[in-house]
Structure 1
Amino acid sequence: MIGIDLVSIERIEAFIAKHGQRGLERFLLPEEILLANKPETIAGFWAAKEACSKALGTGIGAEVGFHDIRLFKNPKGAPLLELSPRVKDRFEIDSCALSITHDKGFAIAVVAMEKRRA
């Protein structure tokens, strides 16, 4: 299962200007807010969560919310993601891989997932 998302960094800057900290809290967990100190990082996190929901085939909504997807970094700074136990069990997900990049005003994220074997 694969999902991809592209987001304009300018769009995220406008979102932050309009909604501030409260807006960030709508889609980022507290520990993610601490990591997301630049608009391009925030845009990458938005794209990652959207790409993850697309890989699951749901989009963000009742089945999978922004806070069901936790983003963090490994010791070398590479992005990682973890699904909430509820989502992981419901969709029978064994593993997830994430890649984020940003350039020329855009952030892109790709998520690949493997289902548990029966």
Structure 2
Amino acid sequence: MILGIGTDLANIERIAETLERFGDRFRDRVFTDVEQLKAERRRDVAGTYAKRWAAKEACSKALGTGLRMGISWKDMAVTNLQSGQPQMHLTGWAAERLANMTPEGYEAIVHVTLTDDHPWAQAFVIIEARPLP
């Protein structure tokens, strides 16, 4: 069953301007160390950050909170499998919210997909509940 759906569209140029203006202060407030390492190794640094920004926004919407109610940017993080497939990891308040919205006898699976077409970065997040075996 679907527990939540979220989407977000981020402007890559706006993220690039924010990175230029605020630098590490912005990076450290919003992105985990792993996300920063990934982005800084990429040719399109701003695009990589923009996709992760959009994923965090989309995830907060799928959780039904938006970025309020105690959720932190770093409570939601995007990593990639070796195949390149993105994965969303929840910690802190986001993980608590996910646990509270998951029905008893089910496990929550967070699906995320990212795309970009300059100047736009987009993310979709679907939270699924699957019955436990």
The normalised TM-score by structure 1 is 0.91
The separation in 2 between residues aligned to 1:2 and 1:42, in whole angstroms, is 21
User: Per-residue CA shift, 1:2-39, capped at 9, x if unaligned?
Assistant: 10000100100111011101211111011111011211
The separation in 1 between residues aligned to 2:74 and 2:130, in whole angstroms, is 22
Task: Structure 2: state its 5+ residue gaps.
Answer: none
Moved more, 76-85 or 6-15: 76-85
The separation in 2 between residues aligned to 1:25 and 1:60, in whole angstroms, is 17
| Per-residue deviation, 1:111 | 0.3
User: Which amino acid in structure 2 is aligned with residue 23 of structure 1?
Assistant: F
Q: Which residue of 1 aligns with 2:121?
A: 107
For these two proteins, the number of residue pairs brought into alignment is: 118
Q: Which residue of 1 aligns with 2:89?
A: 82
Please identify runs of 4+ aligned residues in structure 1 that moved more than 4 A. Answer: none
The separation in 2 between residues aligned to 1:19 and 1:91, in whole angstroms, is 35
| Per-residue deviation, 1:63 | 3.4
Identity %: 35
Moved more, 58-67 or 7-16: 58-67
Q: Secondary structure of the residue that 2:64 maps to in structure 1?
A: coil
Q: How has the CA–CA distance of structure 1 residues 76 and 116 changed in structure 2, closer, same or farther, with 3 Å as cutoff? A: closer
The separation in 2 between residues aligned to 1:116 and 1:27, in whole angstroms, is 30
Q: CA RMSD in A?
A: 1.7
| Greater gyration radius | 2
Q: Out of 75, 81, 91, which is 2:101 matched to?
A: 91
Contact 1:91 1:115 in 2 (8 A): no
Task: Structure 1: state its 5+ residue gaps.
Answer: none
